[in-house]
Every structure is written in C-alpha cells, then in structure tokens.
Structure 1
Amino acid sequence: MTIDQSFYIGYISKSRGLKGELQLFFEFEEYAALDLDIIFIEIDNKLVPFFVDQIKLHNNSTAYVSFEDVDHIDKAQPLVRKKMYLPLEKMPERDPNDFRYTDLVGYLVIDEVEGELGEITEVQEMPQQFIATIAMEEKEVLFPLNEDLIVGIDQEEEVIVVKLPEGLIAMYLEQ
C-alpha cells in the first residue's frame, strides 16, 4: 500500500513502559470511529503494517496500543514520532452536510477589499480557533477562520469570501 492509497490519522508520540506499549496521538478528528486492527506506519517512506494486539482509546485524542511482535521497549522506540495511516477504504463515512473548516483546503480565498488572495494550502486547529494558510508572493499568509471574518462559502465553486482586518495581508508581504 502507498501513501496515496491511504489517509493520515496521527503519529506515535512516545513509548510507555518496558513491554513495547506505545502512545498514539490522533490528528484525525473522529478517531473513535476508526477500525484500528491494522495500523500502517511510515518507515523510510514506506507504509509498514502493524497488527494491533490491544488498544485503549482516551478522550484527549490519544490511545495506548500494543502491537503484535513489538514486545520490548527496544522494538517500540524506533517507532516513536512515526506517522500512522489507514487504507482509504477504512475512512469513516461522513454526512454530506457535515462541513468543517478543514474541508476548506484547496478553496480559493477572495477578500472583499484585497480581491483574490490564493488557495488555502493548510488549515490548522489551534486551541482557540482554526488558522488558514495561503501562499502569496512566495510567502505564507495566515489568517483566522471564524464567523466574524467569513462573508460566505461557496462549496460548489470552492470559494471562500472573507473580510480580513485592514493591514493583515500587507503585514505578511512587507516582511
């Protein structure tokens, strides 16, 4: 399996104990709905399957897992900080009306004053809000995604119209 045949779910954050148990951190929002019998871990740009022996999910986007054949800290330690994936066919179905800020990646941003700004390349979830990133004049421009700044979203045309604070774009481009 290759990365384009899979979807990213998170990474291994640390080892736990001497028997090879690992702590997982999920960046996939609905991680509790995932089928986690086999987890693919990216090692040297290849996805390697690991069979789950035991897993305990927690409410804070983490889980403790024991993989088959990983029975000692020396086998677990090389897996720390590695990315985890699942096959695309294991992606949970989502209600078509369930639109999220993270779905805005690839949308064209149009500011009411500045005009067309560019495509959203990334959406990050921060503790207080979501932050969108666009590339303008070979620089990254970040702006918050919230109801006060969003004028409208056209899902069919994949366009988001915003009214950004005066001077925000100029601040990034002057650096």
Structure 2
Amino acid sequence: MSGEPEVMDAGPPPRSRRRVAALLALLLVLVVSAAALDRSMRSRGSEQVANCRQQGAAEIAAAFGRLTARAGTVRPTVVGMPDGALKDQLLELVSEAVAGADDQLRSARGRCEEVELIWYHRDLVRQRDDCVATLDELTAWFQEVSSDGGHAFGGGVDGGGGCG
C-alpha cells in the first residue's frame, strides 16, 4: 500500500453508455428488419417458383397430350408399315400435332427464368433451374418431333420431372 487513495473506475461516462445502447438498439432493429425482409422475399420467391413450375407442367402436359392423342391413332399403322408416302403422311400428322409446342415451352421457360431470387435461397434457385432445364430439354425434343414425326416413337425423353 502506497498510502494514496485508490481511484475506482466508474466506466464510461453516461453519455457513452447512451450511445452504446442506441447503437445496440439500432443494430437489433436492422437485424429484425433484415430477417423480416428476407422472409418476405423468400415467400414471394416461393410463390413465383411454384407458379413457374405449375405453368411449365401445364405446357408440358398440353404438349404431351396433343402428341399422345395423335401418336396413339397412327402408331398401330406406322409401326408395321414399310417406308413410303403413306407412312410419311402419317408421321407428318404427328409433326403437325406438336407444331408450336416448342414455342409454348420456350415461353414458359422465359417466364421461369425471369423469376428473380436471392442467391442464398438455394432450394428455390434449384427448383427454378431444374424446371428451366426440363423446359429446355423438352423444347429441343418437341422441335425434333415437329421436324420428324418418327422421332416421337423413339422414346428417350423424360416427361418433365423438373417442373412437377
């Protein structure tokens, strides 16, 4: 002991404490606001992705419906028929049945691609991107069928799982 009175530190002056409290309150408000905004954006994005997938699935179903109806009527004849003018005419009917399907699928793809999402909402980004990829694949396939109706009988295409 040196004999001098011990000085006790009372901490920062009251003015500094108020600033710290105000900054902490502001930080809390910002965090809560950011969480609310993120939740709102996720909800909006989820709804838009669901609409995109529903529209994509509807266009896919419509295209396959037209194809199935026409291909079902000509398949029994085309499968056993030798190449020739009649077979070509029947395959042309198949091509005509899906003419324009690629445009409808491309349009649905464009609507899906326009859905803007925050990068860290990875599940929504994946769902949107899976549907876009499916629409790309089916657009190409329906273009081939509209060019050559025989392509419809070759199989090898998924029914649109990315939009389902």
Fold-level similarity (TM above 0.5): no
**Structure whose CA Rg is larger:** 2
Q: Higher strand proportion, which one? A: 1
TM range (shorter): under 0.3
Higher relative contact order (CA 8 A, sep 6+): 2
Q: Higher helix proportion, which one? A: 2
